[in-house]
Amino acid sequence: MKILGIESSCDETAAAVVEDGERVLSSVVASQMSMHGKYGGVVPELASREHLRAIVPVVREALERSATRLPDLAAIAVTMGPGLVGSLLVGLTYAKSLSLASGVPMIGVNHIEGHIHAVILEARRAGAPVEFPALALVASGGHTHLFEVRENYVYRLLGKTRDDAAGEAFDKVGKLLGFGYPGGPVIDRLAPHGNPLAVRFTFAKMKGNALDFSFSGLKTAVLRWVETHDLEAETAVRRAFLRDNPAPTVEQWLSVTPQRTLDLVASFQHAVIHELLTRAAASAELIDARSLIVSGGVACNSGLRTAAYASRLPYPVHFPSFGLSTDNAVMIAAAAFPKLARGEFSGLDVGAQANLTLA
């Protein structure tokens, strides 16, 4: 049973064909990253326009590469939220027209559920399926959530960020220090060159739900540090450098980044990882989890992966491969597979929901 997945919630236009919820027959991702990089973040109007340009060729390529014709499909799965409404609408409207023209039923998918299914798909394919209940940490540019995942994909929200998402914190600090957008990948590559214990960031104690996150204070603390240590001049040098070299190597970044800034970067990343993992471990303990799933763009972070494996948790930890950590359509098709089995189709009247929640 083949499912075509379509994803357009943020700045990636993606399509994929997945068979039986686990065999990836094709996966195409057209990223707009370099375009938004110039503006230091995703510009919603530009994103929708790029999705419009990319959606038809991207879907066609995913079908062609998997040698699939529309009538071969059991369903068309599409992200219906959360995300940028203009971006979501492009994928959703296209999925509706394909469904209407071909008679193949449509399944609306929650983007966050997609991130969780990226891990479930790969674990199943590797012959070591995720055991339930699982604790899922979804950390990306738009979300930082902790979910209990029970058998049959029933979700319970245990904690979430009250302000910035973890990826957003990486992006804001990256921008603040002149490393461009997105900040996560650059900080990840530079952090091993600094001392993670050089700057001690403290977090205010959470009132209410102790499993919630807050990253805006950390960003402000980094800003303070930049101001009190006069880092503005070197930041300006990096900004100018980035204008001339759109994709610097680590060596090039190191040549324009003094040790004290590398220490700041390493300490910032260390603080984010510590926050993510302590709350994930506490949540897992609370629900007696039999596995931990980490997904979303921040799951690409090598420091997070190393720390998660090194912490010797009493249950297996699952990370997706890099390609399935950031936004893609394989995860959308995978999340739709159990819904197909249950006959949970969406009508053509379903709308894009910018703030769609999973639980």
- Please report, as ranges, the residues that interact with ligand KG4 according to CB under 6 A: 10, 140-142, 167-168, 170-171, 182-185, 188, 296-298, 300-301, 326-327
- Among residues 94 and 170, whose Cβ is nearest to ligand KG4? 170
Q: Which of the choices Zn ion, ligand KG4, none does residue 148 contact, using the CB cut-off of 5 to 8 A by kind?
A: none
Nearest distance, CB of residue 306 and ligand KG4, angstroms: 12
Q: Which of the choices ligand KG4, Zn ion, none does residue 196 contact, using the CB cut-off of 5 to 8 A by kind?
A: none
Nearest distance, CB of residue 142 and ligand KG4, angstroms: 4
- Among residues 101 and 310, whose Cβ is nearest to ligand KG4? 310
Nearest distance, CB of residue 73 and ligand KG4, angstroms: 25
- Among residues 81 and 182, whose Cβ is nearest to ligand KG4? 182
For residues 265 and 271, what is the distance between their CA atoms, to the nearest angstrom? 10
Nearest distance, CB of residue 327 and Zn ion, angstroms: 4
- Among residues 140 and 161, whose Cβ is nearest to Zn ion? 140
Q: Which of the choices Zn ion, ligand KG4, none does residue 141 contact, using the CB cut-off of 5 to 8 A by kind?
A: ligand KG4
Nearest distance, CB of residue 314 and ligand KG4, angstroms: 26
- Among residues 185 and 217, whose Cβ is nearest to Zn ion? 185
- Among residues 148 and 327, whose Cβ is nearest to ligand KG4? 327
Q: Which of the choices ligand KG4, Zn ion, none does residue 170 contact, using the CB cut-off of 5 to 8 A by kind?
A: ligand KG4
* List of residues contacting Zn ion (CB under 5 A): 140, 327
Nearest distance, CB of residue 138 and ligand KG4, angstroms: 8
Q: Which of the choices ligand KG4, Zn ion, none does residue 134 contact, using the CB cut-off of 5 to 8 A by kind?
A: none
